[in-house]
Amino acid sequence: MKLTLEQVRHVAALARLSLSPEEERRYATQLSAVLDAVAQLQELDVSGVEPTSHATLADSLLREDVTRPSLPPEKGLANAPSKVGTRFAVPKIIE
């Protein structure tokens, strides 16, 4: 599927991205390739394939979730450039 520059601009606007004309052309090519790959996958007959939540059927390899004591605030904030009480101080970025 060949995306038009107008479609790329529309997607960029939805994502609140500002793209240069060169980026628009590059993304049109790249996104078209992605859509072509998805179209190829849609042609496969997967009627006999059972849905899975993971690529492998192995049990979870993650460690057991165990509650442990955390760092005391003084130690956790020891190298902080700026702090307020027991919290990191960060500049306000939202009006």
- Which pLDDT value is given to residue 63? 81
SS3 of 22-70:
HHHHHHHHHHHHHHHHHHHHHCCCCCCCCCCCCCCCCCCCCCCCCCCCC
What does CATH list as the number for 1-33? Answer: 1.10.20.60
- CA 43 – CA 45 distance, rounded (Å): 7
- Which pLDDT value is given to residue 49? 87
Q: How would you label 22-36 residue by residue, b for 16+ Cβ within 10 Å and e otherwise? A: eeeeebbeebbeeee
pTM of the model: 0.51
Residue ranges of domains in the chain: 1-33
What's the pLDDT tens digit per position in 59-92? 767 788 899 999 999 999 999 999 999 999 998 8
